[in-house]
Amino acid sequence: MERLPRAFYDRPTLEVARDLLGRTLVRMCSGQRLSGRIVEVEAYLGPTDPASHARHGETSRAAPMFGEPSYAYVYFTYGMYHCLNCVTEGRGSGTGILIRAVEPIEGIETMRQMREVRGKPVSEKRLTNGPGKLAQALSIDLELNRADLVEGPDLWLENGEPVGSSEVATSARIGLTHGRDHPHRFYVKTANVSAHPKY
C-alpha cells in the first residue's frame, strides 16, 4: 500500500481532516506492522482557534504545528496520555489534525498487550476508540513528536480506502471548554468503533 504524499497534508486543514477518514495509520513497532483504519479526527485551526494548543502562538509545545506539514505532532496530556496529530497546511500555519479513533487492522494482539499493561482485558472495540487509547495501543509517545510521516521509518499513513460522503458526519469537538461552536470533528458513521457513545 502506498503512503500518502507530502502534498496530501499541504492543503486546508478541514479538507485534509475529511480526507483522512478511511486512510490507514501504520506504526512499525519492533519490526511488526500495527495498523488501523482512521474513523474519527478533529481539526485544529491554528492561533485563532481558541481550542488549539497553537492559541498562544509558537510555544515550545505547539512548535511542531508551526513547522512543515506531513510531520507528526505528539503531545502528553493529563499526566499520563499521549495524543497523535498530523501537521497540515504550510509552514507557520500552526494547524493540525488530532487522530481520535481507528479500527484495528494489523497487530491486534500486540495492541491488546500494550493496552492491558495495567488493568483487565480490553475488548477489540475499546482498543483504539479514543486518542489516548490508540496512542497507547500503537506505542506512540513523545519519541514520535516531529516524526516525518512521508519518509520516516516508524509512523506513516497509507491510502487505505477513502469513505464516501454518505458515510461521513461532523460534530463539535470533544472535551473542550472553548471552541465548541464549530463542527470540526469528522467521523465515519458506519464505523465499528466509536470514540463517543453518544454519536
Binding positions for DNA, rule: CB under 7 A = 42, 44, 51-54, 56, 59-62, 65, 73, 76-81, 83, 85, 96, 98, 115, 119-120, 122, 126, 130-134, 173-178, 195, 197-198
Quick one: 81 or 106, whose CB is closer to DNA? 81
Quick one: 135 or 188, whose CB is closer to DNA? 135
Minimum gap (Å) between residue 164 Cβ and DNA: 26
Q: What is the torsion angle, in degrees rounded to the nearest 10, for the CA atoms of residue 66, residue 8, residue 13 and residue 29?
A: -70
Quick one: 11 or 180, whose CB is closer to DNA? 180
Minimum gap (Å) between residue 1 Cβ and DNA: 25
Quick one: 1 or 91, whose CB is closer to DNA? 91
- Contacts of the segment 152-157: beta carbons below 8 A, 24+ positions apart: 153/28, 154/27, 154/28, 155/26, 155/27, 155/28, 155/72, 156/3, 156/4, 156/26, 157/3, 157/4, 157/8, 157/20, 157/23, 157/24, 157/25, 157/26, 157/38, 157/86
Cell numbers representing residue 18 in the block: 475529511
Minimum gap (Å) between residue 114 Cβ and DNA: 11
Minimum gap (Å) between residue 41 Cβ and DNA: 9
